[in-house]
């Protein structure tokens, strides 16, 4: 059953959050993403696209946070013999510095950019990805970010986020408590589900952002995926 949308401030978004608390929360969120295999939601279309181009595929990750999803996607790409060049972006210098350090230590080819996606232009890339960000925003700002991602993408846009249902709320409550003791993750995980946009709402917002042909699919009990390919691109 779809819930009424209710958005409150998430603790991890507080610029005054202590560095150690923030790092603990990012680690907990990474474990939650890993156990839910969140990176797999965009892996197949990303792999197909990377295999079609005759050069390293440039991928921009918007609001990258701790960067755990790009690291997992990059590891899959390298195992498949594919080369990705990443631009990790976030408005938090603290999160981005941690993300860049861990990503380079993992062998990723990546650059970083401190960018507020609502207020600053995005750098161009072949593929522009985003995970677990749109639920932070009200509809007008979702349209603004999707339009910016579309404008920055040479080939494709991929977005994943949460479903706003009672089942998703129950699963996220359980999962967040199984993988971390971080009270920030416990609070923010539940707040994220309650603030999420329903797939039908996302389809309407994508159309307003000039992506009427975007595919929005339910991927599992907790998440949906949007994938848009630029007309005439090599993207499938």
Q: What confidence tens digit (pLDDT) does each residue in 83-94 have?
A: 999 999 999 888
- Cβ neighbors of 176 (< 8 A, separation 6 or more) are 28, 32, 185, 186, 189, 190
pLDDT of residue 132: 92
Q: Can you name the residues that pair with 2 across neighbouring β-strands?
A: 165
Give the model confidence (pLDDT) of 134-192 as tens digits: 999 999 999 999 999 999 999 999 999 999 999 999 999 999 999 899 999 999 999 99
* Top-confidence residue, 73 or 32: 73
pTM of the model as a whole: 0.91
pLDDT of residue 233: 72
The proportion of the chain whose per-residue pLDDT surpasses 90, expressed as a percent, equals: 78
Helix (H) or strand (E) holding 186: helix 183-195
Gap between the Cα atoms of 153 and 215, Å rounded: 16
Biggest CA–CA distance in the chain, Å, is: 47
17-21, 196-200, 209-213: range with lowest mean pLDDT? 17-21
pLDDT class of 236 with cuts at 50, 70, 90: very low
**Which letter, b or e, does each residue of 176-215 get, where b requires 16 or more Cβ atoms within 10 Å of its Cβ?**
beebbebebbbbbbbbbbbbbbbbebbbbbbebbebeebe
pLDDT of residue 33: 75
Gap between the Cα atoms of 66 and 98, Å rounded: 7
Average pLDDT over residues 11-33: 85
Give the model confidence (pLDDT) of 97-120 as tens digits: 989 999 999 999 999 999 999 999
Topology adopted by domain 11-229: Rossmann fold (3.40.50)
């Amino acid at each position: 059953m779809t819930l009424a949308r209710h958005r409150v401030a998430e603790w991890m978004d507080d610029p005054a959050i202590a560095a150690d608390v923030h790092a603990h929360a990012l680690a907990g969120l990474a474990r939650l993403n890993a156990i839910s295999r969140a990176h797999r939601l965009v892996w197949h279309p990303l792999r197909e696209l990377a295999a079609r181009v005759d050069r390293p595929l440039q991928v921009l990750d918007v609001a990258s946070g701790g960067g755990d999803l790009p690291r997992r996607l990059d590891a899959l790409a390298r195992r498949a013999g594919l080369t990705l060049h990443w631009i990790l972006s976030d408005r938090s210098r603290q999160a981005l510095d941690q993300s860049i350090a861990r990503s380079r230590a993992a062998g990723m080819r990546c650059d970083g950019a401190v960018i507020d996606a609502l207020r600053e232009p995005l750098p161009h890339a072949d593929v522009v990805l985003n995970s677990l960000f749109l639920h932070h925003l009200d509809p007008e700002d979702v349209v603004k970010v999707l339009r910016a991602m579309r404008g920055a993408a040479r080939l494709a846009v991929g977005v994943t986020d949460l479903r706003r249902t009672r089942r998703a709320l129950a699963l996220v409550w359980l999962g967040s408590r199984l993988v971390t003791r971080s009270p920030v993750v416990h609070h923010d995980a539940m707040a994220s589900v309650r603030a999420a946009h329903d797939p039908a709402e996302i389809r309407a917002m994508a159309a307003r952002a000039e992506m009427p042909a975007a595919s929005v699919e339910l991927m599992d009990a907790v998440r949906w995926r949007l994938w848009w390919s630029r007309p005439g691109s090599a993207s499938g």
